[in-house]
């Protein structure tokens, strides 16, 4: 009777070893597939970058300036801040 628990443990260990081998084989297959996919994507990326580098670049688009009712930012006036402050003080604005 003492032989039965040892036999069961041996069977369990054998099953665990077999499961471990299967799991390791699946892991290695997955890693190999990932490496193959990575190499393929890297080759495609390098080919695309080489094609982009070889192709002539199109001229940059420029925006046409719109007439009167434009929401474009106003250009800052030429002049110094000190001049503007003096004008404000002279006009009575800061009183």
Residue 42 maps to a domain? yes
**0.75 exceeded by the pTM?**
no
Residue 79 maps to a domain? no
Residue 94 maps to a domain? no
Q: Would you say how long the chain is, in residues?
A: 95
Domain span holding position 22: 1-55
**How many domains is the chain built from?**
1
The Cβ-side half-sphere exposure at 77, using a 13 Å CA radius, reads: 5
Give the lowest-confidence range in 22-31, 34-43, 70-79, 84-93: 70-79
Residue 70 maps to a domain? no
Q: Could you report the per-residue pLDDT of 28-54, keeping only the tens digit for each?
A: 999 999 999 999 999 999 999 999 988
CA pair distance 77, 3, nearest whole angstrom = 100
Residue 77 maps to a domain? no
What is the C-alpha end-to-end distance of the chain, expressed in Å? 109
Residue 81 maps to a domain? no
Residue 3 maps to a domain? yes
């Amino acid at each position: 009777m003492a032989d039965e628990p040892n036999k069961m443990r041996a069977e369990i260990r054998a099953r665990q070893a077999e499961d471990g081998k299967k799991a390791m084989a699946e892991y290695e297959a997955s890693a190999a597939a990932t490496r193959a996919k990575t190499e393929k994507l890297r080759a495609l990326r390098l080919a695309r970058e080489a094609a982009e580098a070889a192709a002539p670049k199109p001229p940059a688009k420029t925006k046409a300036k719109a007439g009167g009712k434009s929401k474009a930012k106003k250009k800052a006036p030429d002049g110094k801040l000190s001049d503007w402050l003096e004008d404000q003080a002279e006009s009575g604005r800061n009183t």
